[in-house]
């Protein structure tokens, strides 16, 4: 008689290794009441992380601190503090080039200080993860939630995902590693949330058990060899093309930049699977009034849809979970039947409105309205969104006293 | 008037435990079977300077976050919020909804005639309640002021029972809890003051319970109805 033996594999921390699908979709979940920062810790704990580098800046300091606790408990291989955010992102790249699954967190001015590194990450094709807790950027100084900095990251060659709440963030961090490490993707992923609104808000989060974790990263599946000075990316770090003014150097740079963008495009099917779609819809599907939003703006829009319903106005929300890749087809599908498209945002420039206009140009007759827009840490009460919408109808608003 | 959500704003002074109170309020409401969310005001708070926190309790999943601009309930943790204007919003009751509730930690009436007129026009009830005195009398320290405020809130709005409040307090102080450095040092100061953690919890529970009973009687006298229907049965995702 034959006996079948199932091999159980454990990671460094002694957690049972399970498939990403099991961890994200099948494992039983229990309810926990926690902040977004604590949700980051819970996600990293279940992701078999090899390395994390930290640097304090509000509002991500707690998340960075909690990853440090995981290192003390043996769940994270290496953890240390960088000299600055520039140091952090450079050192994280070093960890990843040496074959580590690596994650860090930053906010606002920290993101700007580290900026040079993000296109470098993408160009060297390292699947690192940055949890970005967006905050205002100077000047004047602000520590408050404002997501202007996300617009600076849009074309760095990193994937950008946007979580609405602590639950989204937990699931996105785990899914982020899985998608970023696909051999045909293999670019960095930035999982963004609005600082404070998510990092410091305490809410119910459904978590799988903590004795199971993602399979460890296998660097030998990378589309490029782990640190090798003779082929890209090592070769062009050692011997930059900029030194050579000839056509082959221009062409190499250009084609490599195209390849990074193509890699983001190739992430679509994986992201669709692990995020259960690049977008999420809320409200009456027949409504002519549509909010297109991400993060906290999507949350506030959902509340506004409820208030509008009380006023007898049908509305719906298209929440974008990914910004890079941009969910073009999903957006074009959702705007069918819409007459007014509001894009509420937590920044002064309206970067999401620009994106929405860009992808709807010539394909949709609905009016795109870049409002309401708040910045510098202001809250966007759902009543305020309703007021903005009511301008169209000329009606009085009952909710606002 | 049928509410489906109670939004609570808690103007306080730094160090009074308003953030802890919001955390316990949300945890207790969640335990009772409602949806709940809590958050602090996002800033560089310091002792005796204005500090504010928020809790939202509802019948359906809560997406709304950030400052509560249009509250159903305002809990004033310190008289200076009113007397010295240590408030993020002026007057402290700006944005309050019709038929709302204001609970003020005070031993005397601090409202002007103008305040009273405006609140009355909105049918807002005001409970003047000496929470700090309660805390000193029952727990032996003013540090339990926030517990008295929590008890008064739930006694008055009548949606969350004493058992759930106990659960909220225990879950905050017995579980491993990570807070900012400032809150952590405050916690250790609290522990020294009370010697033992369990003794601390017991005293906090007694303070909350006594305040709950007082506010419940007051609500009955005022003819206040429960602020929310019975909790929806939550289904685990």
Pick among B63, B100, B174, B232 to test the A interface (most A CBs inside 10 A): B63
Picking from A315, A318, A297, the residue whose alpha carbon sits closest to that of residue A306 is: A315
Contact A59, B42 (CB under 8 A): yes
Per-residue DSSP letters for A308-358? HHHTT--EEEEEESEEES--HHHHHHHTTT-SEEE--BSSSS-HHHHHHHH
Alpha helices in A14-60 (DSSP H): 20-21, 36-45
- The pLDDT of residue A397 is 58
Q: Which residues of B touch A (CB under 8 A)?
A: 22-23, 26-27, 30, 35-40, 42-44, 62-67, 69-70, 95-98, 122, 171, 178, 180, 236-237
Integer angstrom CA distances of residue B165 from A239, B1, B131, B136, B178: 65, 26, 17, 20, 21
- Residue B165 host element (H or E): helix B162-174
Signed CA dihedral, A215, A221, A223, A228: sign only: positive
Task: Return the bridge partners of B102, or none.
Answer: B74, B126
Any domain includes B87: yes
What is the mean pLDDT of the segment spanning A284-309?
A: 97
| Nearest CB to B65; choose among A65, A69, A201 | A201
Which chain B residues touch A164 with a CB distance below 8 Å?
63
Which one is predicted more confidently, A167 or B44?
A167
Inspect the interface and report whether the beta carbons of B70 and A383 lie closer than 8 Å.
yes
pLDDT averaged over every residue in chain A: 93
CATH code of B39's domain: 3.40.920.10
Helix, coil or strand: residue A35: strand
Q: Band of the pLDDT at A237, cuts 50, 70, 90?
A: low
Any domain includes B216: yes
Contact A213, A173 (CB under 8 A): no
pLDDT exceeds cutoff 80 at A324: yes
- How does strand A315-320 pair with strand A279-283? antiparallel
Q: Beta-strand (E) ranges in B87-235?
A: 101-105, 125-129
Integer angstrom CA distances of residue A125 from A129, A360, B20: 12, 30, 44
Any domain includes B234: no
Quick count: other Cβ atoms within 10 Å of Cβ A211?
12
Our separate counts of H helices and E strands in chain A read 15, 16
Q: How far out from the chain centre does Cα A58 lie?
A: 18
> Quick one: DSSP state of residue A138?
S
Quick count: other Cβ atoms within 10 Å of Cβ A50?
20
- The pLDDT of residue A248 is 77
- d(CA B149, CA B105) in angstroms, rounded, equals 8
The pLDDT tens digits for A80-128 are 999 999 999 999 999 998 899 999 999 999 999 999 999 999 998 999 9
- The pLDDT of residue A239 is 64
Any domain includes B118: yes
- How does strand A102-106 pair with strand A340-342? unpaired
The pLDDT tens digits for A342-377 are 999 999 999 999 999 999 999 999 999 999 999 999
Side by side, the strands of the sheet bearing A30-35 are A30-35, A202-207, B35-40, B50-58, B5-13, B73-76, B101-105, B125-129
Determine if the peptide bond prior to A139 is cis (ω within 30°). yes
A78: exposed, middle or buried (Cβ count in 10 Å: 0-12, 13-18, 19+):
middle
- The pLDDT of residue A400 is 46
**pLDDT by 10-residue block (mean), chain B, 237 residues:** 92 94 96 94 83 96 95 97 91 95 97 97 97 96 96 97 93 67 64 70 94 98 95 63
Which chain A residues touch B38 with a CB distance below 8 Å?
201-203
The pLDDT tens digits for A247-294 are 877 888 888 899 999 999 999 999 999 999 999 999 999 999 999 999
Least confident of A67-81, A130-144, A168-182, B175-189: B175-189
Any domain includes B233: no
Any domain includes B229: no
- d(CA B90, CA A172) in angstroms, rounded, equals 40
- d(CA A108, CA A126) in angstroms, rounded, equals 23
Per-residue DSSP letters for A60-116? THHHHHHHHHHHHTTSSSEEEE-SSHHHHHHHHHHHHHTT--EEEEE-HHHHHHTTT
A-to-B residue pairs, Cβ atoms closer than 8 angstroms: 90
Quick count: other Cβ atoms within 10 Å of Cβ A14?
10
pLDDT exceeds cutoff 60 at A399: no
Joined tokens for residue A274: 């692990």
Residue-range domains of chain A with CATH? 16-220 (3.40.50.970), 282-393 (3.40.50.920)
What letters, b where the CB count within 10 A reaches 16 and e where it falls short, cover B15-27? Answer: bbbbbbbbbbbbb
Inspect the interface and report whether the beta carbons of A400 and B63 lie closer than 8 Å.
no
Inspect the interface and report whether the beta carbons of A379 and B66 lie closer than 8 Å.
yes
Range of the domain at B13: 5-222
- d(CA A216, CA B37) in angstroms, rounded, equals 34
Q: How many CA atoms lie within 13 A of B84 on its CB side?
A: 10
Q: How many structural domains comprise chain B?
A: 1
List all residues 6 or more positions away from A12 whose beta carbon is below 8 Å from its beta carbon: A48, A74, A77, A216
Any domain includes B189: yes
Determine if the peptide bond prior to A59 is cis (ω within 30°). yes
Any domain includes B67: yes
């Amino acid at each position: 008689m034959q006996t079948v033996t199932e091999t159980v594999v454990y990671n460094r921390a002694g957690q049972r290794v399970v498939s990403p699908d099991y961890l994200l979709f099948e494992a039983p979940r229990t309810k926990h009441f926690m902040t977004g920062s604590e949700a980051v810790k819970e996600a990293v704990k279940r992701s078999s992380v090899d390395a994390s580098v930290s640097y304090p800046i509000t509002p991500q300091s707690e998340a960075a601190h909690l990853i440090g606790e995981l290192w003390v408990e043996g769940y994270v291989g290496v953890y240390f503090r960088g000299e600055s955010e520039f140091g952090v992102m450079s050192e994280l790249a070093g960890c990843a080039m040496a074959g580590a699954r690596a994650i860090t967190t930053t906010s606002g001015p920290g993101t700007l200080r580290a900026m040079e590194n993000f296109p470098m990450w993408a160009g060297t094709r390292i699947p690192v993860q940055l949890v970005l807790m967006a905050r205002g950027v100077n000047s004047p100084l602000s520590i408050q939630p404002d997501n202007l900095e996300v617009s600076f990251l849009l074309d760095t060659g990193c994937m950008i995902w946007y979580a609405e709440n602590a639950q989204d963030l937990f699931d996105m961090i785990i899914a982020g590693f899985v998608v970023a490490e696909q051999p045909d993707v293999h670019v960095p992923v930035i999982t963004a949330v609005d600082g404070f609104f998510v990092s410091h808000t305490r809410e119910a989060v459904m978590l799988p058990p903590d004795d199971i974790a993602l399979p460890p990263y296998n660097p030998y599946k990378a589309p490029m060899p782990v640190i090798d000075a003779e082929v890209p990316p090592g070769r062009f770090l050692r011997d930059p093309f900029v030194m050579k003014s000839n056509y082959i150097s221009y062409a190499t740079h250009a084609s490599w930049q195209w390849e990074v963008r193509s890699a983001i495009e190739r992430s679509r099917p994986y992201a669709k699977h692990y995020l259960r779609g690049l977008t999420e819809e809320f409200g009456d599907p027949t409504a002519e009034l549509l909010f297109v939003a991400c993060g906290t703006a999507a949350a506030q829009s959902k509340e506004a849809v409820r208030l509008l319903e009380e006023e007898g106005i049908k509305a719906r929300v298209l929440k974008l979970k990914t910004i890079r890749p941009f969910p073009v087809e999903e957006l074009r599908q959702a705007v069918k039947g819409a007459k007014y498209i509001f894009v509420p945002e937590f920044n002064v420039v309206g970067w999401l409105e620009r994106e929405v206009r860009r992808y709807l140009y010539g394909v949709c007759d609905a009016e795109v309205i870049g409002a309401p827009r708040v910045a510098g840490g202001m809250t966007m009460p759902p009543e305020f969104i309703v007021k903005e919408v009511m301008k169209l109808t000329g009606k009085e608003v009952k909710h606002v006293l | 008037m049928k509410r489906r959500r109670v939004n609570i704003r808690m103007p306080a002074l730094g160090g009074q435990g308003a953030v802890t109170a919001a955390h316990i309020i949300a945890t207790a409401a969640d335990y009772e079977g409602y949806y709940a969310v809590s958050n602090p005001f996002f800033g560089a708070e310091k002792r005796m300077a204005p500090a504010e926190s928020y809790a939202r309790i509802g019948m359906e999943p809560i997406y709304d976050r950030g400052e509560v601009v249009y509250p159903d309930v305002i809990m004033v943790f310190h008289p200076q919020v009113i007397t010295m204007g240590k408030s993020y919003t002026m007057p402290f009751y700006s944005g309050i909804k019709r038929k709302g509730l204001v609970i003020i930690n005070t031993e005397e009436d601090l409202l002007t005639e103008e305040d009273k007129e405006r609140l009355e026009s909105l049918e807002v009830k005001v409970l003047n309640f000496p929470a700090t005195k309660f805390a000193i009398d029952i727990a032996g320290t003013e540090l339990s002021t926030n517990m008295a405020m929590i008890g008064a809130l739930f006694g008055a709005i009548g949606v969350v029972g004493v058992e759930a409040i106990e659960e909220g307090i225990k879950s905050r102080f017995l579980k491993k809890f990570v807070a900012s450095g400032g809150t952590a040092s405050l916690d250790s100061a609290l522990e020294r003051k009370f010697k033992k953690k369990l003794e601390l919890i017991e005293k906090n529970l007694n303070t909350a319970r006594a305040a709950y009973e007082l506010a419940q009687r007051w609500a009955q006298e005022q003819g206040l109805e429960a602020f929310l229907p019975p909790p929806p049965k939550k289904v685990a995702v």
